[in-house]
Amino acid sequence: MVTMASLQTLAAMLERREVTSPDIHSFSLADGGEALAALATGHTRGKIIVVA
């Protein structure tokens, strides 16, 4: 279960860079082909999001 204490612990760890958040790349729906090309390289780290 997520508690306020666990969220505060996570926030402190992020501030100290003990953990890092994933890279997030956003593409518009019109650039969906570019998003797929990025995935096809196999070198994508983190998340790719296509938004309408």
Structural domain spans, the chain? 22-52
Question: Per DSSP, what are the bridge partners of residue 28?
Answer: 51
Please state the pTM of the whole predicted model. Answer: 0.51
- Tens digit of pLDDT for each residue in 14-45? 999 999 877 888 899 999 999 989 888 888 77
Mention every residue, 6+ apart, whose C-beta is less than 8 A from residue 19: 10, 13
> What tokens does 1 get?
């279960």
Instruction: Give 9's pLDDT tier (boundaries 50, 70, 90).
Output: very high
